[in-house]
Amino acid sequence: MAVRVPVVALTGYLGAGKTTVLNHLLRAPGARLGVVVNDFGAINVDAALVSGQVDEPASIAGGCLCCLPDTDGLDVALAKLSQPKLRLDAVIVEASGVADPPALARLIRFSGVPRVRPGGLVDVVDAAAYFDTVDPGTGLPPARFASATLVVINKTDRLPPEHRADILGRIADRVRESNPQVHIVETTHGRLDPALVLDTANPHDPIDELPLAAAAREAGETGDGEGHAHDHDGEAHPRADAVTVLATGPVDPGRLVDLIERPPPGVYRLKGTVTVDTGRGLRPHVVNLVGGQIHIAARPSIPKPGIPRPTSPGPGPGPGPGTAGPGSAADGGDGLVAIGLRLDLPGVQARLEAAVAPCTVRPTADDVRRLARYRRLSV
């Protein structure tokens, strides 16, 4: 069984800044990304990015992605980009401005491509134009947020300083009316920390092996394109926090599922490999949580790298008990990594340590069934 490639949906109204977010993600050093767009002519990625490329980007013609007569167009693109030889960290699907996020989420969730899994839906909104485009602010909140795992409130610098906090609070309230569990991050110029959304390549891989990523970084360095790699007005993008905890033996399925179903506040992604005591034997598993999307599967039998260290972990504990260091989960052992914004680092570490503590008693049949249910849903 091959490692499944996460597919991240990127949605947002025209002008919200989703292409700027995409450009920023493409310039992440070491990132090995595939990209699916409706029409390369409508994307603010330099033409050099697609010139001569046959494996990394894929274009779907025919208008809005979610209005295709069938899912074959998307599935063909995902099948192409999920080939093991590409060793991609993620595939990003940038939908057109009129695409329906719930429909796109369903297309990815029920894709017939066996080598992919949902990697979250990132919906970008324009803070200054929110109540003129997405939501009039009366009646029911927009249904689009129900399927989102992360809402990026972009262009916050365009709000009047004296009203900024009030407007951002009103937007967040409306988003959470539709989806109380969604994660929200405020940005300017689309500067979203890539570590929050995706993993990066093994540090031993040449970072410029993929011309797509190399060209995107070059465009940013020369000032081309809509996005920028540097800070504006001295403001840096929100940095993601990360906590890594090692597993020293087989874990209890109940404690593991408890953590995944109720992650610590602020945790957007949770990932790792663990060996679970099922009561009838030891079963290695790969665990992934993105927002409220849970994916649990048998660990691939092929050799694979350990849990990669996020590129921008932000402030957090250095190597020590329960954190990443030499010989840790980041280097190939069992363990879990939690990634999010403004995390209570000691609290998150305690939750992870409790979840991966060695199983000392026979697990209950109910806990084994809870884990098995998520495995069935992840097929």
Q: Domains for the chain: give ranges and CATH numbers.
A: 5-222 (3.40.50.300), 241-377 (3.30.1220)
Of all helices (H) and strands (E), which one includes residue 18? Answer: helix 18-26
Confidence of residue 105 (pLDDT cuts 50, 70, 90): very high
31 three-class SS: coil
Q: Give the CA count within 13 Å in the CB-facing half-sphere of 277.
A: 19
The pLDDT of residue 168 = 97
Work out the percent of the chain whose per-residue pLDDT is above 90.
47
Of 55-64, 241-250, 334-343, the one with minimum mean pLDDT is: 55-64
Cα angle: 100, vertex 102, 105; to 5 degrees: 110
pLDDT at 248 over 50: yes
Of 18-27, 54-63, 178-187, the one with minimum mean pLDDT is: 54-63
Tens digit of each residue's pLDDT (9 = 90 or more) over 258-297: 999 999 999 999 999 999 999 889 999 999 999 989 999 9
Distance CA 184, CA 238 (A): 11
Structure tokens at 143: 């249904």
Confidence of residue 138 (pLDDT cuts 50, 70, 90): confident
**What average pLDDT does this structure show over 130-136?**
91
Confidence of residue 222 (pLDDT cuts 50, 70, 90): very low
Work out the percent of the chain whose per-residue pLDDT is above 70.
71
Confidence of residue 23 (pLDDT cuts 50, 70, 90): confident
- Is residue 297 a contact partner of residue 1, using CB atoms and an 8 Å limit? yes
Parallel/antiparallel/unpaired status of strands 90-94 and 57-59: unpaired
Of all helices (H) and strands (E), which one includes residue 241? Answer: strand 241-246
**What average pLDDT does this structure show over 355-362?**
93
Parallel/antiparallel/unpaired status of strands 335-340 and 241-246: antiparallel
Region of 221 please: left (phi>0), alpha (psi -120 to 50) or beta.
alpha
The pLDDT of residue 60 = 62
pLDDT at 11 over 80: yes
Of 196-210, 288-302, 310-324, 353-367, the one with minimum mean pLDDT is: 310-324
Q: Burial, 211: exposed, middle or buried (Cβ in 10 Å; 0-12, 13-18, 19+)? A: middle
Instruction: Tell me the pLDDT of the chain averaged across its residues.
Output: 78
Tens digit of each residue's pLDDT (9 = 90 or more) over 160-213: 999 999 999 999 999 999 999 999 999 999 999 888 988 754 444 433 334 334
pLDDT at 253 over 60: yes
pLDDT at 99 over 90: no
